[in-house]
Each structure stands twice: as structure tokens, then as C-alpha cells.
Structure 1
Amino acid sequence: MKLIKFVDVREYDTNAPAIAAHLNGVLRDIRKKKLAADLIGDDHNSKELKPDDPDGFADELSAGVELTYRDRNRNSERARRLAECRAVASGTSHLKKEEVARLMPVAKGIHLAMAKDDHWADEIAASIHDEMPWMANASEYAWHGLRRAAQRGDPIALRPLILNGPAGIGKSVWARSLAQALELPMADIDASKGTAGFSLVGVERGWSTAQAGRPLDIMLAKRIGNPVVVVDEICKAVSMTSNKGTFHSFTNGLLSLPEPVSATAWECPYFRLQFDMSHIIWVLTANDVSVVPEPLRSRCQIIEIPDITSEQLQAFALKRGGKMGLSEESMDAIIAAIIRAPIVTGRRISLRDVVRMLDRAEMLEGRPRVQ
């Protein structure tokens, strides 16, 4: 793991009662030593004392020194002002206590998961390709990126990519498999939903629904600075206009995040602080990349994914069904359905359909038998 600076906050003790208690203790010690010095005096006998003797003498003679109400009141006021100044200096004076508590674990930095070695990169790519061979273009891209990071001794990193291909071929499934294989936390956002923009960057303070965005949430929760963030249906990203006339565009909100320069000091509208979001691994999916705005396309590596064949769907079903422990009868039924479905339904069968078949078979096999 590598530790990097993540957010520009400073750790200061802003607990006013604790600061006041410290000031009271310091004042009490000063008065003890002054009393001891007055009692010892400055004659020929005091010259025989060792340097530490007055301190010990102060503890013996003035253990009962007490502060007055005025003393404690003045220290409490000083502590209150000092706590306020420290909160301003830390950059968190506008946040609630529970919000500051979320940031403190990463105040000194956040960890980046590191690439291990070439063999590790080879195994990751091979495992993903073995499960989804029709995604070979994406798996090869990830393989080269992981090997490059491993050879340089860098954290796990991939240039933002857009997986472009027909619907239902497993683009999102591939991205989730990648995150799982890399043992990285993952957040997914559906760009086609009206509230997707708020899920991405968050909702600014002052609104009843104010919250941080999903990518930042997962980073704070897992304390990992290079999670995988999957954005589904980027070609169907929507824009919204609030009742007050405020325009919200998903792609405009996303533009600053895949760009390393702007992402290094990305300002969160909820926390109103700058975070380093430049190490996120972005995987976007699209059915028609041509409708994705050019500024976003220019920030990403576009990878074309061909349509999945019936044979590939059958191979996927056999492997996934074997891992799920499905019976031979269930697998025979699923394979037959994959072969006949296009004829019966008049449409192409997708990976989503196969996954639903597998889930359905697993549920039926787990159902108690009626005698």
C-alpha cells in the first residue's frame, strides 16, 4: 500500500473542555513552582539545591493549590476561542462533528492498492478472459495496464475506458469481475437515471438531500484511493433542470473526474473541500459511443466489444452453472433454452437472459420439495 495526500484538512484538537483542562493544569503547575520558589528563597542554603529539587519541593508544599472561579472562567473562554481558531485553520469549521469524524481517518492520507508483479497481472487477465472470452479486447487492455503498473512499481491504475458494444453482452459484469479480481472496492452508477448526476458528484450543502457522491463515499468507507467506479449507459446520460431553474448535466459533472489534472484537486459540493480523485479506475459502458459527448470520449480509451454468440453464451452458462453447483438436468434445460430462445422469441438472447436463467434454476433447486 502507498499512502498519498487525499484531502486538505489538518488535525487539531478542537475539544474546548479538553483544552480548558490542559490550561488549568498548566496554570496550576506555574503557581506551584512560584510558591516553591518563594518559600525556598535565594540565600546560601538554596544554592546547595539540585536543579530538580524545586520542582519536587513544589509538589510537596503546594499540592493543594486550587484555581479560583475567575481563573477557570478565563481559561474556559481562552479554550473556546482557541478551539474556534483551530477549527477554521483545519478547514472544517463549516462541517458537523460527525462529518469531521468521517474525514479524520484519511486526514493524514489514503492508501492506494499496489500492482504486484507481472505474474499477478497475467493471472488477473487470464481469469477474466477465461470466464468472458468475448470481452478479449477489454481484458487485453487491462492486462497491459496492470503489467505496466507492476513493472514500474506503481499503484493499480488504468486509463479511463469506455466499453462500447451491444446491450446485454456483459460489459458491466466484466467491470465488476475486474474489481473483484483486483480486490478493489467498487461503486456503480446508472447514468440513465435522472438522479445519476447527484450520485456521481453529490448534492451540495443546504439541500435536504445533501450527501457526498458514490465514488467519494466508497473511498471514505474503505479508505482506498483507487477504487473501480462503473458508469453504466453513459450513452443514455440525462440532464435535469430543478424547479428553481438550475441545470444539472451528468456528463458535465463527470468531465473533471477522469481528467488527472482537475481530479487531483476536485472540490466536493457536499464537503466543500478538495479531494484527490485522480487514482479512480473508471469503466464506462455504452451501446452507441457516437452519442457520447466528444470532451468525455477524448478523456477515455474506447474499446469495441463484438456481440456475443450462442456458443459463447452456452460456454458461459456451463462455467457459471458449475460454480453455482447446478444439477445436470438444470444445465441441460438452460442450454436448450439458449439454443431455442431466438427462434421462439424472435429476438437475440443476451447475457442478462442467461444470468436470469441461472438464478432461476438455483432458486428452484433450493426450493423445498412438496410431498
Structure 2
Amino acid sequence: MKSQSATIRIVNIPDFETRAEKILEHLKAHLIALRRKNLAKLASKVPATALIGDEVEDENFLHDDDDALGLPGEIEFDPFDDAANLSHLDRVTLRERAEKLAKARIAASGIAHLRKDELERLRPALSPMKLIMCRDEAHADEIAAGLHAEAPWLAAATEYAWHALRQSARCGEPVRFRPVILNGPPGVGKSLWARNLAKALELPLADVDASKGGAGFGLVGLERGWGSAQPGRPLDLLLAQRVANPLIVVDEICKAKSATSEGGSHHAFADALLSLLEPATAKSWECPFFRITFDMSHLSWILTSNTARTIPDPIRSRCQLLEIADPTPQHLHDVANRQARRLGLTQAARDAALAALEQAPVLTRRRISLRDVSRILDRAVALEGRPILQ
């Protein structure tokens, strides 16, 4: 069953048509309708024969020659069809007015600085966007149960999401999670858990890697004038999916980077993220690319890290920190067995994979993560599909 939804506008731009071709179509239709209306008024005062022509003496002239012409009977004559035949002067005048009106509307809307292709890219934001809702508290319980069954060692994260969903359902509000940091060893499934949460709620999701995000331009976008100018990932997701409360996952916030330009300007990933995390600034957030203010306050943020010590203090102070432990050997065994069945491995292949997983800590002399489980299963799939030499 699908999640419920509401709608909201994320940009405060007048919702009127700014494309000259569309305005021209409306003007043509209006002129034709107006002329037909005027002709109808005239027809009520003047005999129909006066509109059709002086040579008409018999009202049956429209049907007398039907058989001779090979036409079906009961053809109705519409003396107002000429109203739709616009003259060349009509068309030129209407096009000039449409282009003038389009320019005036663009100037009044505050988007005159945008190119035509940029305006088309922005167009989805001009209409109300969906807000995904949690149907009811039972739905929240089902989602939490499913997440816990897949990753019981992430119980702290699941409980956090569970309470947030129940509150949203109870209050009839859109789904939104307060910013949270999942801190724990690499390879324990923090990002996978977030993706499963988004999938269960049918929330659009975007991944941003803070360790590769440079100064945060991939997060908030880069202003026009640069060769790589574009909107940030979150806004791009909103425009593509037309959902105002997607889930944004920021991986490895503990490795967030910064950069200093040749002119001495300092740009940090943490600063870019803060502009979207802070409710006051997210509500009226200005996109560097479009140079228009958007309401980004409905986004949900899940950040992951491997060590809390290197998380920038301004980010940490605005997020709830949840400590995530390693999965136990039994957890890894259960995950491997479940995934092997989903992959359709034979019993022999499953047994071999589980045996390899059990021996892995001794052979590798290190901790085993979910990534190791995935590699073992990938190897089992490859070996099972290999032809046997006779």
C-alpha cells in the first residue's frame, strides 16, 4: 500500500504562464471564442439567410444535393466557422502581444535572469510538490519491524526513526526526521539502513559523500559562470521527483573537506551543509545556481561517520548522535543466509558461503563486516555459475 501525501510550494514565484508559445495559444483561443460570441449575438438579431447569403431561398438547400455529392445526411452548417480563420494581421498582432506579455511576466516573477533552458529546468518547482506522509501509527510499526528484522544491530537508528514516524502519523504531519548522525565502524550497514528506510516510505533519496564533496558544491550547487555550474544534489532531486521531503544521506561527515580559493575565500563542506540543516536558513535558502529562494525545510538528513571525534562541531551540535555497534557473528550469519536465499543459491553453495564466513576472521585476522559478506556471496554466485570441466 502506498504512503499518503499532501502538497506544498517550495518557491515563492507567481504561478502564471511565462512561455510565449503557450500564451499565444491562449490568446488565439480567446480571440476565436470572443468572435464566435459576438457572431452568436448578431445571429439572434439577423435572419440566418442574411449570414449565409442572398442566394439562399430554401432552407433545405443544405440537404437537397447530399446524395449527388456523396455526403451523409444531417450535415449541420455552422455560419461561425469563419471566426476561427485568423488573418495574417491577427496572427502577427497576437504573437507580438504574447511575446510582450511573456517578457513582462518573467520580469515580474523575479526569474528574468534565467536562460530558457534553466527556466524549463526550474518549472517543476513552480507547481505544488508532494509531501510524503506516514499513513498511521500501525504503518510506522510495520516499517520499524521490517528494518529491525534486516539489521537488529542498528536498533538505535530504527528506534529513532520509529518514534519520529509515529509522531508524524499521530499529528498528521509529513514525514520528516530531525538531523541524525549514525556513528560506527565502516561496513556495518549505516547507509544501507537509510536506503531501506527511504524505500519503505517511498521517499526519494540522494547520497552525498562528504569525503569527496570538496567544498560542498555538490551539496548546494555552484553559481553560473563556472564550467561545472549546476544545482546541488538535494534541489536536483526535488526538481526531478517533485517531492518536497526527500531523504538526504551524507556519508562520512567525519571526513568533510574544505578549500580556499586563490582569492583567499574559504569554502567548507560543513558550512554548506549548515545552511540546509539550520531550520531558519533552510526555510528561505537561496540556491547559488538559480539565485532564487527555496523552502528546503522539509528535507530529512541522515549523516554517517566512522569517528565522532572529527565531526565538525557546528554539525555535531545540530544533530543527534547515535552510536552503532558492529554486528555480531550471528548477525552476519543470518544476513548471509538471508541474502543467499534471495540470490537463489543452492543449498551446497549456501553452506560453502556460510563456512567461508565462519573461517574469515581467523584467516584474515581482522573484523568482518557486511562488505565481506557481500564479497563472499558474490564469489559464491560466480563459482556456482562456472561450468564444470568433465
Instruction: Give the aligned residue type for 1:101.
Output: E
Q: More displaced, 288-297 or 356-365?
A: 356-365
- Aligned equivalents of 2:31 and 2:166: distance in 1? 61
Matches within 5 A, 1:179-218: 179-195=198-214, 197-218=216-237
Partner of residue 110, structure 2: 91
Partner Cα separation in structure 1 for residue 121 and residue 93 of structure 2: 32
- Number of residues of Structure 1 aligned to a counterpart in Structure 2: 357
- The question of whether the paired residues in 2 share the 8 Å contact of 1:229 and 1:281 is answered with yes
Equivalent in 190, 195, 214 of residue 176 of structure 1: 195
* Structure 2 partner of 1:249: 268
2:137 to 110, 118, 133: 118
RMSD: 3.2
| 1-structure distance, mates of 2:331, 2:150 | 10
Q: Shift in Å at residue 116 of structure 1?
A: 0.9
SS of structure 2 residue aligned to 1:299: coil
Q: 1:2 to 1:23 in 2, by over 3 A?
A: closer
Out of 4, 8, 15, which is 2:8 matched to? 4
Q: Pick closer, same or farther for the CA change 1:16–1:182 going to 2, 3 Å.
A: closer
1:92-171 to structure 2, matched below 5 A, reads: 92-171=111-190
Deviation of 1:137 (Å): 0.6
SS of the residue 1:113 aligns to:
strand
TM-score normalised by L of structure 2? 0.81
CA contact (8 A) 2:253 2:304 kept: yes
Hey, what's the Cα distance between the residues in 1 that align with 2:144 and 2:304? 19
- Give how far 1:114 is off: 0.6
Q: TM-score, normalised by structure 1?
A: 0.84
Q: Which amino acid aligns with 2:15?
A: E
Paired amino acid for 1:4:
I
Contact 2:188 2:370 in 1 (8 A): yes
Q: Deviations over 1:39-69 (max 9, x none)?
A: xxxxxxxxxx999648x999979x6998686
SS across alignment from 1:279: coil
Q: Secondary structure at the match of 1:163?
A: strand
Q: 1:285 to 1:78 in 2, by over 3 A?
A: same
Correspondence for 1:44: none
Of 294, 301, 306, which residue of structure 2 is paired with 1:282? 301
Counterpart Cα distance in 1 of 2:86 and 2:257:
68
Select which of 9, 13, 19 maps to 2:17.
13
Per-residue deviation, 1:344: 1.7
Amino acid in the other structure paired with 2:178: R
* 3-state SS of paired residue (2:119): helix
- Structure 2 CA distance for partners of 1:203 and 1:165, relative to 1, 3 Å: same
* Secondary structure of 2:216 counterpart: helix
CA distance in 2 between partners of 1:316 and 1:66 (Å):
71
Query: What runs of 5+ residues in structure 2 fail to find an aligned partner?
Result: 53-78
1:339 Cα deviation (Å)?
A: 2.3
What is the CA–CA distance in structure 2 between the aligned matches of 1:50 and 1:176, rounded to whole Å? 67
The verdict on how the C-alpha distance between 1:108 and 1:33 changes in structure 2, with shifts beyond 3 A counting, is: closer
Contact 1:28–1:67, Cα closer than 8 Å, also in 2: no
Structure 1 residue 362: deviation in Å?
2.5
Please name the residue that 2:64 is paired with: none
Q: Distance in 2 between matches of 1:139 and 1:12?
A: 44
Q: What is the alpha-carbon distance in structure 2 between the residues aligned to residue 130 and residue 29 of structure 1?
A: 63
Residues in 1 aligned to 2:301 and 2:290: alpha-carbon distance in whole angstroms: 22
Cα distance between partner residues in 1 of 2:148 and 2:321: 18
Percentage identity across paired residues of the two chains:
51
For the pair 1:237 / 2:256, whether they are aligned, the reply is yes
Judged with a 3 Å threshold, the aligned counterparts in structure 2 of structure 1 residues 230 and 314 are, in CA distance, closer, same or farther, namely: same
CA distance in 2, matches of 1:196, 1:369: 52
Provide, for residues 115-146 of structure 1, a one-character-per-residue CA deviation record: whole Å limited to 9, x for no partner.
Answer: 11111111100111011110011111111111
2:284 alignment counterpart: 265
| Distance (whole Å) between structure 2 residues aligned to residue 21 and residue 144 of structure 1 | 52
Indicate how the Cα distance of structure 1 residues 370 and 248 shifts in structure 2: closer, same or farther if over 3 A, else same: farther
Rounded to whole Å, the distance in 2 between the matches of 1:196 and 1:261 is 22
How far residue 165 of structure 1 moved from its aligned partner, in angstroms, is: 1.0
Q: Which piece of structure 1 moves more, 204-213 or 241-250?
A: 241-250
Pair 243,330 (structure 1): closer, same or farther in 2 beyond 3 Å: farther
Cα offset for 1:320? Answer: 1.8
After the TM superposition, which residues 28-43 of structure 1 pair with which residues of structure 2 at under 5 Å, given as runs? Answer: none
Task: Compute the displacement of 1:19 (Å).
Answer: 4.7
Unmatched 5+ residue regions in structure 1? 37-48
